[in-house]
Amino acid sequence: MTTADTAHELRLERALASLRGLAVGDALGSRFSVPAHHAALRRRELPAGPWRWTDDTEMACSVLAVLDGHGRIDQDALARSFAERHDAARGYGSAVDRLLEQVRAGGDWRVLASAQGNGHGSWGNGAAMRIAPLGAWYAGDPEQATHQAEISAYTTHQHREAVAGAMAVAAASAMVADPAGCPGPDALLEAVIALLPRSAVQAGLRRALDMLDYGDVGTVAAVLGCGRRNTAHDTVPFVLWSAARNLGDFAEAFWTTVRAGGDVDTTCAIVGGVVAAATAGAPPTEWAERTEAFPAWTPVAAS
C-alpha cells in the first residue's frame, strides 16, 4: 500500500536522480567551455576531477528543496531560497546576480523579475536550466509538471519564452521519469509540443521533431540554436532534440550536446537532468564520482 509518506519518498528519489544527472552535465559541460579542453572534447577524453558545478545546479537544488518541504512550488519560498543560496562565484548572469542580491536585501521578487528585459521579463534560459528535477518529481503527470514549472519560472523569468522553455523541459522530464515507460522520441516531442502555449519555443520544438533523423549535430544546432544567445528559444529545442535522440544513454546525450558548443554548462545540465530522470539514463558512475558533491540543503519548510 502506497502511503503519503512513501509517495513523497518516491517523488524525491526520482527528482534526486534527475538532479544528479543535471549536476554531472552542468559540471562536466562547464569544463569543456574552456578552450584548453577542446582537443580533449574531440577525443571524448574526460578532464581530471573534481568537476565544479555552476549556478544551474545551485538553483536546481532550491527547486527540489522547496518541493521537498512544500510538496509543490511556493514562489515566495523559492525566491527566498534562490537569494539565500546565491553565490556569484558560481557563474550567475549579471542580471540574476543583481535580482537575487536585491531580493536578499528585502526586495519584492515580483517587482524585480517583472522589470527585467525592459519591463517584458527575462527570456533567458535560466528557468529551464534548473527545472528537470521538478519534472521528475511529477513523473507521469506532465500536465502538473508544466503548471508547476510555469509557477517556478515567474520568480526570476517572466517572459513568455522563458516560461515556455521551463514548461517544455519539465514536461519532457515528467514523461521520461514515468514508471509506466517513456514514449519514443517522436511521441515525446509531440506530447511536449501539445502542452505548450504558442511561442518560439514551441515552434522550435516542431522543427526539432522534423529533424530527429538528422545525425549532423552542427546542422541541427545551426537551425535550432544551442544556447549561444542564452535565450530559452535558442536553447530548449536543441536540448530536447538531443535528449529525445539519446533516451537511456546519458553519455551519448552529453557528447551529442556538448559538441554543438554554445552555453554548454546549461545545455548539458538540461539534457543530463532530462535523460537521468529515467533509471536507464543515469550518468556513468565514474562521471558522478568526479562531480563535486551537491551543496548542503534541507527541505524548505512551509511557513
Q: What is the pLDDT of residues 35-62, one digit of tens each?
A: 666 778 888 989 888 999 999 999 999 9
Q: Which three cell numbers stand for residue 19?
A: 538532479
Q: Which three cell numbers stand for residue 46?
A: 574526460
Whole-angstrom distance, CA of residue 277 vs CA of residue 23 = 12
Q: Which three cell numbers stand for residue 60?
A: 536546481
Whole-angstrom distance, CA of residue 56 vs CA of residue 19 = 10
DSSP state of 265: H
- Grid look-up 517513456 returns 182
DSSP state of 74: -
Asked if residue 28 lies in contact with residue 20, where contact means CB atoms within 8 angstroms, the answer is: no
Closest CA relative to residue 21, chosen from 48, 60, 55:
60
Asked if residue 21 lies in contact with residue 273, where contact means CB atoms within 8 angstroms, the answer is: yes
pLDDT above 80 (res 112) = yes
- Tens digit of pLDDT for each residue in 69-79? 999 999 999 99
- Tens digit of pLDDT for each residue in 237-282? 999 999 999 999 999 999 999 999 999 999 999 999 999 999 999 9
pLDDT above 80 (res 180) = yes
Q: Is this prediction's pTM over 0.75? A: yes
Whole-angstrom distance, CA of residue 231 vs CA of residue 204 = 12
The architecture in CATH of the region 4-78+123-290 reads Orthogonal Bundle (1.10)
SS3 content of the chain, % helix, strand, coil (to 5): 65, 0, 35
- What pLDDT score was predicted for residue 42? 84
Beta bridge partners of 35: none
- Tens digit of pLDDT for each residue in 157-168? 999 999 999 999
- What pLDDT score was predicted for residue 242? 98
Asked if residue 119 lies in contact with residue 111, where contact means CB atoms within 8 angstroms, the answer is: no
